[in-house]
């Protein structure tokens, strides 16, 4: 049986992590995988997370199973955080998942159960694992234009034209904020136009919201998602707590499914629970309980929001510094897009050869498509990166 297995192509982001670890050069800089690092290079446990864990440890009396769809109080708290007033409780089913990736996977499974002929429209480019999961599942997808290589902004005319070709019953995968891998995002007006296109085509939005709070703020980053959900009859939202709560390894996420008619909600809810049961049975609880403990406690929530805001402002300052260094080195404003981008990532627009050169000459690791993780920088490494970018001829 196992002799017939064929090697799988490694995930390029995870492969880069391994390459970085194996590099023995002093001063190497990892701007690959999307993990936040503070100015000392550490991915900290947030203060509110530590406090919540302590509280859970002191008060938890059982590790018996919770609900198949996940702890209801967690789902309710997340629903409020992600959708706010845009949530229509009577039409929304929710599922606790194994991270945001688990939510994407279950969303695709559900879509396929609802429409075996579903085609998924995904941005070009997108998070590589989106494509990989769909390939693995055998779910057909097409890419819509998204990134404008010249401006490093959004090619909105191209995006609209391509999304206009979606059919009723198709799925349109959108990044709610902090687009991964480009850092280029839609404006509020553009979100409204996307809602119009969805309206016209009857395609169902699936919004991947993995970085809420890392772009323009916790509320601001959810604005596009809320608009789409309030306009679309049917919609799905896959939310991740990995980044904004810094609980990557706890694998904490949620899928929300909005149905058109309240009468269909219970069947959707039951189907979601069924999907969990078939995949891994009960979802993990520890991360969900941390998040719920924080969100349902005024003091902890305020402290968490304050720390998240420090993280966000730190990334914005690094963006400004990097754009400034590059302006000084090149005597031009052609890298100013770095300051305009939002979230953890920016796509530089460098060629694979230039990315390779930056790695070989400066021991700086960025993903091959020239996505760099801003949160892997600090004040001292920014000038080193700026120099390496210029030296590589980007
Ligand atoms: C990333 O894009 O780097 C993160 O989402 C981590 C991952 O799993 O790829």
Query: How does pLDDT run across 53-84, given as a tens digit for each residue?
Result: 999 999 999 999 999 999 999 999 999 999 99
Q: Are residues 86 and 15 in the same domain?
A: no
Residues 217 and 344 placed together within one structural domain of the fold: no
7-38, pLDDT tens digit by residue? 998 888 999 999 999 999 999 999 999 999 99
State how far the Cα of 394 lies from the Cα of 386, in Å rounded to an integer. Answer: 10
Give the model's pLDDT for residue 11: 87
Mutation test residue for ligand 1: of 34, 374, 375, the one with most atoms within 8 Å of CB: 34
Q: Does a structural domain hold residue 262?
A: yes
Chain Cα centroid distance, residue 184 = 13
Residues 141, 216, single domain; the answer is yes
Domain span at 30:
8-45+305-391
Residue 13 CA to ligand 1 centre (angstroms): 7
| Nearest-atom index, ligand 1, CA of 34 | 3
Q: Which CATH number covers residue 309?
A: 3.90.1150.10
So what's the pLDDT on residue 10?
87
Nearest CA to ligand 1 atom 1: 34
In a domain, 52, yes or no: no
Clarify whether residues 143 and 200 are in a common domain.
yes
pLDDT at residue 314, rounded to an integer: 96
Per-residue pLDDT tens for 239-278?
999 999 999 999 999 999 999 999 999 999 999 999 999 9
d(CA 263, CA 272): 16
Q: In terms of domains, do 120 and 251 share one?
A: yes
- Residue 2, domain member (yes or no): no
| Domain finish residue from 278, 296, 314 | 296
The radius of gyration of the chain from alpha carbons, rounded to an integer in Å, stands at 21
Q: Answer yes or no: 191 catalytic.
A: no
Average pLDDT, the chain: 97
**Percentage of residues in the chain with pLDDT exceeding 70?**
100
- Number of Cβ within 10 Å of residue 112's Cβ equals 16
Owner of token pair 């349109």 = 172
Domain boundary among 296, 325, 348: 296
Same structural domain for residues 283 and 312? no
Nearest to 358 by CA among 344, 372, 342: 372
- How many domains does the chain divide into? 2
Decide if 189 is inside a domain: yes
pLDDT value for 302? 98
Q: Where are the alpha helices (DSSP H) in the chain?
A: 12-22, 47-59, 72-83, 99-114, 128-137, 156-163, 188-201, 223-231, 265-279, 286-295, 298-330, 337-340, 352-362, 381-391
Q: How far apart are CA 382 and CA 266, in angstroms?
A: 51
Task: Give distance in angstroms: CA of 293 to centre of ligand 1.
Answer: 26
Please check whether residue 54 lies inside any domain of the structure: no
Please say which residue of 255, 275, 296 terminates a domain.
296
Same domain, 291 and 367: no
CB atoms closer than 10 angstroms to residue 18: 11
What does the alpha-carbon distance between residue 207 and residue 293 come to, in Å, rounded to a whole number? 25
In the prediction, which pLDDT does 326 show? 98
33 lines ligand 1 (CB under 6 A): yes
Mutational test site, ligand 1, from 10, 12, 13, 104, max ligand atoms within 8 Å of CB = 13
- Taking the CA of residue 14 as reference, the ligand 1 atom at the shortest distance is 9
127 lines ligand 1 (CB under 6 A): yes
Measured from the CB, is residue 365 less than 6 Å from ligand 1? no
Low-confidence ranges of the chain (pLDDT < 70): none
Residue 50 is among the residues annotated as catalytic for this protein:
no
User: Does one domain contain both 212 and 287?
Assistant: yes
């Amino acid at each position: 049986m196992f002799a017939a297995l064929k090697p799988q192509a490694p995930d390029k982001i995870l492969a880069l992590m391994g390459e970085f670890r194996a590099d023995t050069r002093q001063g190497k800089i990892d701007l690959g995988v999307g993990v936040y690092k503070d100015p000392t290079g550490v991915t900290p446990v947030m203060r509110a997370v530590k406090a919540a864990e302590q509280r859970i440890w002191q008060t938890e009396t059982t590790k018996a199973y919770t609900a198949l769809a996940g702890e209801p109080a967690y789902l309710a708290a997340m629903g409020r955080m992600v959708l706010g007033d845009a949530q229509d409780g009577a039409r929304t089913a929710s599922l606790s998942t194994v991270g945001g990736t688990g939510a994407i996977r279950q969303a695709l499974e559900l879509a396929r159960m609802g429409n075996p002929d579903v085609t998924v429209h995904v941005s070009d480019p997108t998070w590589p694992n989106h494509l990989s999961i769909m390939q693995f599942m055998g779910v057909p997808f097409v890419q819509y234009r998204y990134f404008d290589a010249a401006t490093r902004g959004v090619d909105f005319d191209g995006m609209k034209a391509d999304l206009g070709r979606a059919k009723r019953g198709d799925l349109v995968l959108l990044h709610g904020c902090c687009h991964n891998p480009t850092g280029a995002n839609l404006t509020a007006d553009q979100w409204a136009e996307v809602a119009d296109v969805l309206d016209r085509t009857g395609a169902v939005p699936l919004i991947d919201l993995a970085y809420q709070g890392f772009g323009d703020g916790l509320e601001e980053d959810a604005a596009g998602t809320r608009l789409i959900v309030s306009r679309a009859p049917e919609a799905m939202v896959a939310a991740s707590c990995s980044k904004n709560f810094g609980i990557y390894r706890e694998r904490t996420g949620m899928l929300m499914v909005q149905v058109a008619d309240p009468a269909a909600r219970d069947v959707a809810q039951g189907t979601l629970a069924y999907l969990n049961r078939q995949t891994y049975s009960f979802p993990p609880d520890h991360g969900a309980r941390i998040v719920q403990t924080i969100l349902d406690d005024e003091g902890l929530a305020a402290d968490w929001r304050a720390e998240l805001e420090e993280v966000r402002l730190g990334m914005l300052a690094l963006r400004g510094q990097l754009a400034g260094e590059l302006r000084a080195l090149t005597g031009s404003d052609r890298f100013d897009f770095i300051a305009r981008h939002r979230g953890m990532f920016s796509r530089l627009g460098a060629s694979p050869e230039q990315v390779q050169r930056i790695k070989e000459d400066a021991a700086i690791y960025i993903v091959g498509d020239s996505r760099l993780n801003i949160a892997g920088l600090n004040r001292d490494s920014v000038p080193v990166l700026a120099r390496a970018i210029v030296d590589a001829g980007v």
